[in-house]
Structure 1
Amino acid sequence: MRMTARSTATSSATQIRRLVASGTLIAAAMLTTRVAAAQATKGARVTSAAGVGAARDSADALATFRENIAAIHTRNKPRYLATYVHTPQLVRHSPTALETGYEGWPAITESAWPDTLIVKEMRVVPVAPGVVYGYYRYIGVPAPGDTLTGVSTRVFVRTSQGMRITVTASWNDAPPVTKR
């Protein structure tokens, strides 16, 4: 069977979604890189339709990203939770754990919101049709007098409801080392 660049990208996007859904984000990134290299080797060009699709995916993911942050600022839990997939494929990653699934996610029942959240350097990058990686740096004040900085990342996938977050991760920066 002869595969075109378009069918290769489509089958790769399906593979990437499966890898992301299973929590294998690094493998998905490696697969995306391998597919891109193979397409470049074959002389494949990005078509106008592909460019438009990537731009649409990026714009929709950015809108969902902003909706997610706005819900945090207003402490609106239903609005916040609506930006995520409500499936077993939701991946939640922190420095201490990698968990999957929407059911049993503490964010559903807890009411912990940062006192202040300042988002800096928000960016999104399309990685495959219907899949976008997002990143931002933050300054957070969980409680008055306590300030944290760090990085938060998301992977967005196109669903029948629009772009939704399927992978969420956040890490506080390491505290600065003080000289004695």
Structure 2
Amino acid sequence: MKKYIILSIVLCLGFTGNLLAQSIVPDTLLFVFKLHGQTRKYEMSFREKQDSLYLYWGIERNLKWQSGSYAMSPESISWGTRLSFLQPEDGKHVKLSPEETVYVLSHSAYKQLKEQHSFVYNRTTYSVQERNEQALGYPLIHVKDAMEGGEMWILDNPKLPLVWRMRENPLGINWEVSIPEPSSL
């Protein structure tokens, strides 16, 4: 029990001071990717800067720290219609097109999801399934593509509708987010 109390305190202290992260995500999240039998664990953090949303990523590979970022413009955050599956490359700082987001839904797609219980992203319609899981104190909205079977679990928060988990992705890129242990950072 003492271990859980300490873990709860550490998680509470791990939240950042900026407005976006204050009520949504800890400073750093661990994205665990699975592709063709391989597993990669990326440390990622979201930051607001000059009306844009940045995703900073890092991974230790071959005893070297690799890092980069993705930038989402105000347009992509508001109206984006596609998830980017661009593979991270060391030292690359990618500005996504106004149609793209990375690991989050746009505000318009999230609004469509909440109002219609379905939404279209990457020209694919996802419909709500059961809702019985939580992450970071928010419900996860489970959606599924009826055509190809792709599934996402989306953090039910309008400020940052994070794709917490992806399964059966037709591209083969699946992931799940977790909160890293304090000793691993």
| Structure-1-length-normalised TM-score | 0.33
Rg: which structure is higher? 1
More helix by share: 1
| Higher strand residue share | 2
The higher-RCO structure (CA 8 Å, 6+ apart) is 1
TM-score (norm 2): 0.32
